[in-house]
Every structure is written in structure tokens, then in C-alpha cells.
């Protein structure tokens, strides 16, 4: 950034604008990062577990889907309190644990890393702070290389984590055809989204008076729905909930019928038909629903990352429409020191 930013939401906007360059750097070094991941992975690989909180946990959901598809091994999400509160004794032999922390200093993430490492796990860390304590807690450290992030809502560090998780999945890919995902067009697509804030502003204008929101996707897009809902909550105070389309179609759909707007994330791929069917159902019942506007042409994993960027725009625009400052939401801090 060139000098201080004084307007509300300026920090978040400036950091969002850095995403194309951050993503391009990570794509350029992906081959080297993948080699580090392969070297760190135990053989034979029993499974992979992602360890995270907050936005990083939403990135981990994305990584879980990609990695289980690619590696052909069970992949899950860790529950840190099992180790920090219940002191579980588990044999982690043969498992690769991927720990995500933007600050690299969240105590419960570090303490859980220590516990599973002592129990036989191999560890990869993903952080924006390569000099943080996480460097000593893992076997291989991958930096998001996003530069300082000053706004409370994580933007460029979040999408950088997602791209690194696509690299992890590609490194562990055991399918006969090997990795088939191309992220080369992602930086230019993200730049185009950032250069065209109109669709997000239109949604914010339409929904500026809401006090609740459901954000829903399925498959890989479920991670984007979770993250967009979190960004809306953080920046506006709106009670936003991210959920799977499959879950929404059960009991929670009553909230939509009762007036809660629904924002659907369609990233293409095998789950796209489910989005279309749900949208038709919602409109048929008179519910307020819209599909997140995205440019076409990307493969599903890249489109999910692009959807997160569009969701950042929606959250920021909603905050400004409500007179809130998305840079520094009331009651929140950049680092949450959970233990």
C-alpha cells in the first residue's frame, strides 16, 4: 500500500486487491512446494488430517475435499480440544497433519501440533508468518507469502491458504492420470472480479436491511459458503450461517421460508445441479434467494477460490451499506489466542 488509508473499509479493500499477485506467486512456486509435501508425507500414507480454527478451518474444509479425492485416503478435520482439554492418547503413525494458522502462533494449534507429532504424525504447517513459533512445531513450513494483513477480516491470507491446499492435494495425488486441476487462470480471474465490484454492490443494496443470511454450497463450494458466511458475520454483525445444500434442504430450509435470504455458491462441478434444484425450490416457495455472481470458465477448485473473493466483496459492501467499518469490526481482534 502507498501511505495510510483513511476511508472505512480501505484496509480490507487494499488487501483484497493484493490477491492476484499473491496467488500468482504461489502458483509460480507450486512445483517446489509440492516436492516438499511429498518428502514430508509418510509412506505408506494412512490418512491426512487438517488442523485449524476460524477462516483457516474453512480453508481446511476445501483441503479436505480436494485431498481425499486426490490421495485416495481418508481425510478429516482435527478437534484441537481433544488434545488441549481432554488430553487424548491417539496413535498418529502414518498420518500427515496439515496445520493452518495465519499468525503461526495460536496456542491450541501449536499445542495440538506438539501432541500429534509426539504420537507419530508428520506435520506440514501453513502460515503467513514464517518466523512464527509454528516453524519449530512442524516438519515442513509453507508460507502464504501474502505480506502483512492489517484488516481484521482475513482476505489475502485466506485465499493463499486455499491455493496452498490445492498444491498439497496435487502433491499427494495417486490417481492414474495424476493432478488435473489447473490454477493458471485464477490470478487474472480474481483481478477481473476485483475490477468489477458492481455485482457485489447490487447484492448489498438489495439486502442492506437484512439481519440474517444463509450461505449455501455443496462439495468443494461448501468451503466457500462457510467462509463467505464468516466474512459477513465478521464485517456486519449479520447472523449469517454457512451450510451444505444437502443440510439446508432438511430442517434449516424453514428459516428461508420464514424470510431469511439465501445466497447460493455455484462453482460448477458435480454438485452444480443441486444448486439449481434448490434455487428452483426456494423461488417456488417465494423465498428470497440469489446465486453468487461469478465469471464462467474456471475449473471447480479455482472457481471456489474466486467465489471466496466475490464473497469478500459482498461482505465489505454490506458492511459499508450498514454504516459499519469492515476493517475493524466491533469486539474482534486480528489474532484470537484460543488455548
Q: Which of 147, 145, 101, 93 has its CA nearest to residue 124?
A: 101
Which one, of 300, 164, 157, 152, lies nearest residue 219 by Cα? Answer: 300
Q: Which of 110-124, 223-237, 320-334 has the lowest mean pLDDT?
A: 320-334
Running DSSP on this structure, what letter comes out for residue 61?
Answer: H
Cα Rg of the chain, angstroms = 19
CATH of domain 186-321: 3.40.50.10490
Per CATH, the homologous superfamily of domain 10-171 is: Glucose-6-phosphate isomerase like protein; domain 1 (3.40.50.10490)
pLDDT higher than threshold 70 for residue 66 = yes
**In the chain, ranges of CATH 3.40.50.10490 domains:** 10-171, 186-321
Quick one: pLDDT at residue 4?
Answer: 39
The band of 47, judged by pLDDT with boundaries at 50, 70 and 90, is very high
Q: How far apart are CA 95 and CA 232, in angstroms?
A: 35
Handedness of CA 293, 159, 204, 211 (dihedral sign): positive
Q: What is the pTM of this model?
A: 0.94
Tell me phi and psi for residue 74, to 5 degrees: -60, 140
Judged against a pLDDT cut of 50, whether residue 176 lies above it is answered with: yes
Q: Which three cell numbers stand for residue 269?
A: 462441478
275 vs 283: CA distance, rounded Å: 12
Which residues, 6+ apart, have CB-to-CB distance to 226 below 8 Å? 58, 61, 215, 242
pLDDT digits (tens, 9 = 90+) for 72-118: 999 999 999 999 999 999 999 999 999 999 999 999 999 999 999 99
Q: Indicate if the alpha-carbon torsion angle 323, 333, 220, 83 is positive or negative.
A: negative
Residues 302-317, mean pLDDT to the nearest whole number:
98
In this prediction, residues 49-54 reach a mean pLDDT of: 96
pLDDT band at 3 (very low <50, low <70, confident <90, very high): very low
Give 339 or 273, the one with higher predicted confidence: 273
Per-residue pLDDT at 132 exceeds 70: yes
Calculate what percentage of the chain has a pLDDT beyond 90: 84
The residue whose grid cell reads 482475513 is 154
pLDDT at 181 over 80: no
Amino acid at each position: 500500500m502507498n501511505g495510510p488509508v483513511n476511508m472505512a473499509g480501505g484496509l480490507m479493500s487494499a488487501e483484497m486487491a493484493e490477491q492476484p499477485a499473491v496467488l500468482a506467486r504461489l502458483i509460480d512456486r507450486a512445483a517446489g512446494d509440492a516436492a516438499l509435501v511429498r518428502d514430508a508425507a509418510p509412506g505408506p500414507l494412512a490418512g491426512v488430517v487438517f488442523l485449524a480454527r476460524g477462516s483457516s478451518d474453512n480453508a481446511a474444509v476445501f483441503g479436505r475435499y480436494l485431498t481425499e479425492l486426490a490421495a485416495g485416503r481418508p481425510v478429516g478435520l482435527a478437534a484441537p480440544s481433544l488434545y488441549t482439554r481432554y488430553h487424548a492418547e491417539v496413535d498418529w503413525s502414518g498420518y500427515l497433519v496439515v496445520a493452518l494458522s495465519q499468525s503461526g502462533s495460536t496456542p491450541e494449534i501449536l499445542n495440538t501440533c506438539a501432541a500429534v507429532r509426539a504420537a507419530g504424525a508428520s506435520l506440514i504447517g501453513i502460515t503467513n508468518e514464517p518466523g512464527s513459533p509454528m516453524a519449530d512445531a512442524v516438519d515442513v513450513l509453507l508460507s502464504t507469502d501474502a505480506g502483512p494483513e492489517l484488516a481484521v477480516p482475513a482476505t489475502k491470507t485466506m485465499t493463499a491458504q486455499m491455493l496452498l491446499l490445492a498444491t498439497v492435494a496435487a502433491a499427494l495425488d495417486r490417481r492414474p492420470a495424476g493432478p488435473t486441476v489447473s490454477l493458471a487462470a485464477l490470478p487474472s480471474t480474481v483481478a477481473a472480479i476485483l475490477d468489477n465490484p458492481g455485482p457485489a454492490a447490487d447484492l448489498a443494496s438489495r439486502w442492506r436491511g437484512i439481519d440474517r443470511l444463509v450461505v449455501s454450497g455443496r462439495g468443494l463450494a461448501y468451503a466457500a459458503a462457510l467462509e463467505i458466511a464468516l466474512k459477513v458475520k465478521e464485517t456486519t454483525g449479520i447472523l449469517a450461517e454457512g451450510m451444505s445444500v444437502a443440510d439446508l434442504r432438511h430442517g434449516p430450509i424453514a428459516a428461508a421460508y420464514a424470510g431469511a435470504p439465501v445466497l447460493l455458491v455455484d462453482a460448477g462441478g458435480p454438485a452444480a445441479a443441486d444448486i439449481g434444484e434448490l434455487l428452483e425450490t426456494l423461488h417456488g416457495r417465494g423465498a428470497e434467494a440469489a446465486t453468487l455472481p461469478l465469471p464462467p470458465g474456471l475449473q471447480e477448485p479455482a472457481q471456489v477460490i474466486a467465489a471466496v473473493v466475490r464473497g469478500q466483496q459482498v461482505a465489505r459492501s454490506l458492511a459499508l451499506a450498514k454504516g459499519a467499518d469492515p476493517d475493524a469490526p466491533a469486539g474482534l481482534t486480528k489474532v484470537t489466542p484460543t488455548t
